[in-house]
Amino acid sequence: MTDVLTTTEGAVLRIRLNRPKAIHALNTGMCVAMLDALAAAERDPAIEAVLIDHAEGRGFCAGGDIRMIAESGAGDGSAAREFFRVEYQLNHRLFTYAKPIVAFMDGITMGGGVGISQPARYRVATENTKFAMPETGIGLFPDVGGGWYLSRLPGRIGQYIALTGYRLDGAECLALGLATHFVPATALDTIKAAVAATPQAVATILDDANARAPDAAILSHRVEIDRLFASDRLEDVLTALAADPGEWAAAQLATLGTKSPQAMKVSLRLLAEGAAMADFADEMRQEYAVAARLAQRHDFIEGVRALIVDKDNAPRWNPATPEGVSDATIDAIFAPLPAHEAWTPA
């Protein structure tokens, strides 16, 4: 079975993820196939737009091939680095693509699924959307451009999402600008057919299909998020949460207690620097250096063991506390790679 289906429908390139048993999690071959299809479509004057969705199953894209990355990371890391290199080239290609792209974030949209939907000009959420960057729970960080996208959300919401892995629904995605449109899932086939028939009218088609979204629950905690997650220093965030008498703060503190301290510190640093990045390629270059290193560090390999392989949900982080993760360690993780190893666009 082909993991990516690429077809031309009228003047539209259709890219459909087709790995349903893995909720369409991306592997290296899928990223290569998408890059090749995008390159061909960009050169073809007959193609006016691109649609990205999934062929079947309960989610758009659950992330990347985490098990493979961890197995590689436990060895020489070469396959993990190759995956990140190609995946980030795909993220960048989508971000800089000349023709309009519509991504349909129906169902689970996490990790790598965020990376192939957020660069699209049009991002369609539904009542089924479950959007998250849960990487700190496996010792990783919100990559695929997370340092760019999350750092540009209102207030400290991006930092909150990066640290906790909070799952947003479709209405929340719309309210935060992570989605451009909110439509009923039952309307998707009709919308896709209309865009394929008249791609030059894609904006009007999506606007006409827009439904009234429910209230965005996350905004009811906006004041608390901005206050309690105000610092770029993890210890300050934990202190603020511990000092707050409310149930919501206690729940967030408990959540952070399950995450990798190293990964949380990396995530805060990533967003702090990502907010100042002037070019998306610079963001991806930095994320690649960080990913290449974290893939071979203890917390990622242990996180995958605990949550994905053995499923005991009891990762043994090392260091086990935020205080144990030194500034020098974070500096080393973020250091630029030598020129011959550094990430470059496709």
Pair 54, 25: CB distance under 8 Å: no
64 is known as an active-site residue? yes
How many domains are contained in the chain? 2
Report the distance separating Cα 172 and Cα 177, nearest Å.
9
Q: What is the pLDDT of residue 195?
A: 97
Q: Quick one: 51 and 196 in the same domain?
A: yes
CATH number, domain containing residue 25: 3.90.226.10
Q: What is the pLDDT of residue 57?
A: 82
Walk along the chain (346 residues) and give the pLDDT tens digit of each residue: 799 999 999 999 999 999 999 999 999 999 999 999 999 999 999 999 999 999 988 899 999 999 999 999 999 999 999 999 999 999 999 999 999 999 999 999 999 999 999 999 999 999 999 999 999 999 999 999 999 999 999 999 999 999 999 999 999 999 999 999 999 999 999 999 999 999 999 999 999 999 999 999 999 999 999 999 999 999 999 999 999 999 999 999 999 999 999 999 999 999 999 999 999 999 999 999 999 999 999 999 999 999 999 999 999 999 999 999 999 999 999 999 999 999 999 9
Of 143, 283, 299, 302, which residue is the catalytic one? 143
Of 48, 53, 59, 64, which residue is the catalytic one? 64
Helix crossing, 280-294 with 78-95: angle to 10°?
Answer: 160
Q: Is residue 240 part of a domain?
A: yes
Q: Quick one: 138 and 241 in the same domain?
A: no
Q: Quick one: 188 and 229 in the same domain?
A: no
Pair 18, 3: CB distance under 8 Å: yes
Q: Quick one: 201 and 221 in the same domain?
A: no
Q: Quick one: 89 and 120 in the same domain?
A: yes
Q: Quick one: 98 and 142 in the same domain?
A: yes
Q: Is residue 170 part of a domain?
A: yes
Q: What is the pLDDT of residue 58?
A: 83
Report the distance separating Cα 336 and Cα 341, nearest Å.
9
Q: Is residue 157 part of a domain?
A: no
Q: Quick one: 119 and 255 in the same domain?
A: no
Domain that holds residue 94: 4-146+162-209
Q: Quick one: 119 and 189 in the same domain?
A: yes
Beta strands in the chain, from DSSP E residues, in sequence order: 4-9, 12-17, 49-54, 59-61, 101-105, 108-110, 122-125, 130-132, 181-182
65 vs 19, 95, 139, 291, CA distance in Å? 11, 22, 15, 14
Helix crossing, 247-256 with 157-164: angle to 10°?
Answer: 50
Of 48, 53, 65, 135, which residue is the catalytic one? 135
- Strands 12-17, 49-54: pairing kind: parallel
135 is known as an active-site residue? yes
Q: Quick one: 230 and 190 in the same domain?
A: no
Q: Is residue 153 part of a domain?
A: no
Residues 6+ apart with CB under 8 A from 198: 205
112 is known as an active-site residue? yes
